[in-house]
Amino acid sequence: MQKRKLGNSNLEVSALGLGCMGLSHGYGPATDAGQAVSLIRAAVERGVTFFDTAEVYGPYLNEEVVGAALAPVRDQVVIATKFGFTFGDDNKQQILNSRPEHIRWAVEGSLKRLKTDVIDLLYQHRVDPDVPIEDVAGTVKDLIAEGKVKHFGLSEAGVQTIRRAYAVQPVTALQSEYSLWWREPEQEILPALEELGIGFVPFSPLGKGFLTGAIKDGATFGSDDFRSKVPRFSPEAIKANHALVDLLGQLAKDRGVTAAQVALAWLLAQRPWIVPIPGTTKVHRLEENLGAASIELSQTDLGRIAQALAEVRIQGDRYPAALQARVGR
Q: Which of 141, 145, 130, 55 is nearest to 99 (CA)?
A: 130
What's phi and psi for 6, nearest 5 deg? -80, 100
Distance CA(295)–CA(321), nearest Å, equals 37
Active-site residues, by number, are 57
3-state secondary structure 142-175: HHHHCCCEEEEEEECCCHHHHHHHHHHCCCCEEE
The contacts of residue 122 (CB under 8 Å, 6+ apart) are 80, 81, 82, 83, 107, 140, 143, 149, 151, 152, 153
Residue 226 backbone class (left: φ over 0; alpha: ψ -120 to 50; beta: rest): alpha
- How far apart, in Å, are the Cα atoms of 28 and each of 226, 227, 241, 329? 8, 10, 23, 29
The contacts of residue 162 (CB under 8 Å, 6+ apart) are 154, 171, 174, 192, 193, 196, 198
The contacts of residue 256 (CB under 8 Å, 6+ apart) are none
Run of H or E including 196: helix 189-196
User: Distance from CA of residue 199 to its chain's centroid?
Assistant: 12
